[in-house]
Amino acid sequence: MNYTNTTSSLYTRETLVRSWTEFFTQESHEWKPFALTVVFRKVDANSNQARYEYEYRTRFLNKIRRRLESCPRNQANALPFEDMFYYEKDIGSIFKKTSSRSPHHIHALLPIKEKHMHRFWCADSNEINARLRKDLESIDVVQSVLIEPATLERRESWIRYISKRKEM
């Protein structure tokens, strides 16, 4: 095992986690991060990581982009950090057993601009906008969606979790 590469990679990952945490803390007046989990259902024989990452990046995030920005030319910049997600299926450790029936799902951190909050989040009921929820759940491969504000206390651990298997 090459010890220097491992140390360098860990240092880089820790630096990345710290940088993202500081960014969301310093820019909290402009960006509100949301933790989300999307659970997918198997609808055909093509059931693999590449397919569900594609569904998330294109169909799922496009619904959010269209909700945030009505003008098509502004939709590309509505969600700046699209790669802050982690795909999971049958992932286990020595502490956690996995079930072969665990669903395909993605955990993500989704930053929303303060000016778009009224189109994304309903502050009165403290949940995602009802129209957006309906749009997201209308995607045939989406089984369920959980979206909640990433509180300051949980932000760093959420960033650490979704970046744990990213290539540096």
Q: Which residues in 119-154 are b (16+ Cβ under 10 Å) and which e? A: bbbeeeeeebbeebeebbeebebbbebebeebeeee
Q: Chunked in runs of 10, what are the mean pLDDT values of the chain (168 residues)?
A: 44 76 78 91 87 94 94 89 81 50 86 92 93 94 92 79 63
Q: What is the pLDDT of residue 165?
A: 60
Please name which of 78, 79, 136, 87 lies closest in space to residue 107, comparing C-alpha atoms. 87
